[in-house]
Structure 1
Amino acid sequence: MICSTSYHVPGSLESILPLHDQSSRPFAIPLERLKKITDSFSDERIIGRGGSGVVYKGVLENGENIAVKKIVSSLTPGLQKQFENEVSHLMELKHANIARCVGYCYETRNECLLHNGKYVFAEMAERLLCLEYMPNGSLDKHISDESSGLDWSTRYNIIEGICYGLCHLHEQNGKPVIHLDLKPANILLDEGMVPKITDFGLSRLLDQKQTIYTKSCDGTLGYMAPEFLHGGTITTKSDIFSLGVIIMEIVTGHKDYPDVTGTPSDDFIELVHVKWRNVLQRSSWYGSLETNCEQIKRCIQVGLICVNPDRTKRPPIAKIINMLQRTGSTDCDITDDTEVVDLTDRWLLEILRTGGL
């Protein structure tokens, strides 16, 4: 458990924040310092909101920016556990495609409050995380906005980066970390549109049996694997399902889930392929048309495999990276395994028919 701390830190905050030291671990930062750099958590500094808190833009004296995530003040044990869980994992996770935490704040104070007609003292906790600042915000702001016009090269690099980050989670140090809330809103983009996985409040360390069973199914509908949503079964394949949905969103540029009629996966893949080919042919520069079209086809095939309702048929993340990077024909090694004719590819087909991309 993370304990509350008394602080006396001399000098400026810049001198203690290791913004450029990739090897440093997150450390405790006084609440008063965080108030100062966020203008007392003013509304003008808000850059994002989520179910567990609000994210503010902090500006240091030297002009550098930092993101400060302020956890919602609540007595709910779940939020407390999520905060401690996130900090403990961020202490160890270091990768170019995982958002780096540079510090945290956990301070408690006693306040006299009116309760049932009497004044009582209650312990109030302030829990905050300091993260590297991502000027391009979260991925959902880009793929849900058609006007953003992300070109294919950028989309493909984002897909690859997310896969690299997830591979680090699943395979680092022999202690797999399952994210359990992988979605575009939890993927941040830096100034070069490099994706960084963030928000590890629901993440879990995998046990030795490679499976966790839980009655708590927190997460985001639409990204949760069916065996997790309906049976509380957690494995690394839970994240693979989420990844598949994200890949298809990035390729199509849409995120809605209309209830539509089914279609064969081969028809769906071909329709995505044709749509993108038309987009690329209209572009003034698109690199190698055939190479891009091959990447698009491969990405949507991989995405469909990842959302297979049968988790045993979803590949591990290392194999997914291999699939994405291989060249040549994909029909024999991907299409034959694409037995996904469920709602996921149905809503995507309808989106494309009604004007996707």
Structure 2
Amino acid sequence: MTDGVEDSEEIAALEKALVDETMDPVDIPFSLLKSITGNFSEAQEIGRGGFGVVYKGVLPSGRTVAVKQLFERYEILDKTFDSEIDCLAGLKHKNTVRFLGYSSETQYLRRLCDGKLQWVAKRQRLLCFEYLPKGCLAGYLSDASCGLHWSTRYQIIKGICEGIHYLHQHRIIHRDLKPQNVLLDDNMIPKIADFGLSRHLSESQSRDITENKFGTMGYMAPEFFNKGEITFKTDVYSLGAIIMDILMGQKECSDVKEVVESWTDKFGTSKSHTSLEEVKLCAEIGIKCRNYDPRNRPATWSIIHGILDEAEISNWSVTSDVATSTEGQVQSLK
């Protein structure tokens, strides 16, 4: 086979993974990802974090993907890559970012070392995801007086809750939940992203301990920050901080009355009793999630159950997949 034929087959496989949500992630050549990102051009950079840079990739068809190139730090490169692959493989939910494929190659380049030309190994570890055009949630946070309408904020809160619940059902602890790691699609549907710090627990595990306390202040649970302890309630604390961000534009508020009054002023004479009840419910959940003691934080299945039950008085409907996942979680707790 010629390189051109191989390239066309590889592009076709990535195109198919992009449009067919039932497909498993595909192995993508480094050369293809390098090509569609303009040789990882700064002009196509769309994000940067502690473990890598994310670029916009443009396929020949005009469709777009997101390409995450991990930094080449020997102590974290393979561990981070393997962790993300382990957590992302098999995840298929409307509130988690779609994982399309990966690239793992080692190149040998001639480099001048100690005055001599030597062959040096350069490892390339990349991940490919669906491209979310609206960017991250962090760019849309504001207090009640401006920004997103309540219905959109409520949709985002519910979607994040459902996404985290799905991860926990699959025994995945995200560990780095924050507005920067929640992406939004064209319809403002939230999708949880960036699984570089995630942990995949075995069926016999309920907790883990780490000495590497990577995370973002304000979203890190106190037991993780103080002792390196990781449980599903670690994510719940972060969820609470995100909910308060969405409600008030900042996470420090701990007064339900203050939140409701803020939104009462926003709704004004057109205020809806149903909407205010939703605001109150979300504020109560956000504050409970941020309880210092993880034992007093709610589980994700109870959060979803509470939100969706209250929402029956509004126009929201309980989708069959959420109902099924909630039932499965209840069964698993028996």
Name the TM tier (shorter chain).
0.7 to 0.9
Q: Where do 5+ consecutive residues of structure 2 fail to align?
A: 312-334
* Rounded Cα–Cα distance in structure 2 between residues aligned with 1:145 and 1:297: 15
- Please name the residue that 1:335 is paired with: none
- Please name the residue that 1:83 is paired with: 81
Deviations 1:201-259 (A, max 9, x none): 1111124141112222122221111111111111100000000000000001236x6xx
2:221 to 196, 203, 225: 225
Indicate yes or no: 2:212 matched with 1:216: yes
- Residue pair 1:244, 1:306 contacting (<8 A) in 2 also: yes
1:205 to 200, 210, 234: 200
In structure 1, give the amino acid aligned to 2:39. Answer: S
Return closer, same or farther for 1:14/1:110 CA change in 2, 3 Å cut-off: closer
After TM superposition, the score normalised by the length of structure 2 is 0.85
SS of match in other structure, 2:310 = coil
Q: Where do 5+ consecutive residues of structure 1 fail to align?
A: 1-5, 258-262, 329-357
Indicate yes or no: 2:36 matched with 1:25: no
* Rounded Cα–Cα distance in structure 2 between residues aligned with 1:147 and 1:61: 43
Indicate yes or no: 2:164 matched with 1:180: no
SS of match in other structure, 2:24 = coil
* Rounded Cα–Cα distance in structure 2 between residues aligned with 1:270 and 1:146: 14
SS of match in other structure, 1:16 = helix
Matches within 5 A, 1:11-22: 11=8, 13-17=10-14, 18-22=17-21
Matches within 5 A, 1:1-80: 9-11=6-8, 13-17=10-14, 18-72=17-71, 74-80=72-78
C-alpha displacement of 1:27: 1.3
In structure 1, give the amino acid aligned to 2:161. Answer: C
* Rounded Cα–Cα distance in structure 2 between residues aligned with 1:28 and 1:124: 19
Matches within 5 A, 1:68-147: 68-72=67-71, 74-143=72-141
- Please name the residue that 1:354 is paired with: none
- Please name the residue that 1:321 is paired with: 304
Higher helix share: 2
Indicate yes or no: 2:277 matched with 1:294: yes
* Rounded Cα–Cα distance in structure 2 between residues aligned with 1:301 and 1:38: 44
- Please name the residue that 1:260 is paired with: none
* Rounded Cα–Cα distance in structure 2 between residues aligned with 1:248 and 1:254: 6
Deviations 1:311-336 (A, max 9, x none): 011111000112222339xxxxxxxx
- Residue pair 1:26, 1:101 contacting (<8 A) in 2 also: yes
- Please name the residue that 2:261 is paired with: 274
In structure 1, give the amino acid aligned to 2:264. Answer: R
Q: Which moved more, 1:74-83 or 1:194-203?
A: 74-83
* Rounded Cα–Cα distance in structure 1 between residues aligned with 2:145 and 2:45: 23
After TM superposition, the score normalised by the length of structure 1 is 0.80
Return closer, same or farther for 1:61/1:20 CA change in 2, 3 Å cut-off: same
2:147 to 146, 149, 152: 149
C-alpha displacement of 1:115: 3.4
User: Aligned residue pairs: how many?
Assistant: 306
* Rounded Cα–Cα distance in structure 1 between residues aligned with 2:139 and 2:146: 9
In structure 1, give the amino acid aligned to 2:45. Answer: I
C-alpha displacement of 1:52: 1.4
User: Pairwise CA RMSD of aligned residues?
Assistant: 2.3
C-alpha displacement of 1:8: 7.8
* Rounded Cα–Cα distance in structure 1 between residues aligned with 2:164 and 2:76: 24
Matches within 5 A, 1:252-263: 252-254=248-250
SS of match in other structure, 1:77 = coil
Deviations 1:55-111 (A, max 9, x none): 111111111111111112x23321321111101221121111000111111111112
- Please name the residue that 1:239 is paired with: 235
Q: Segments of 4+ in structure 1 off by > 6 A?
A: 145-148
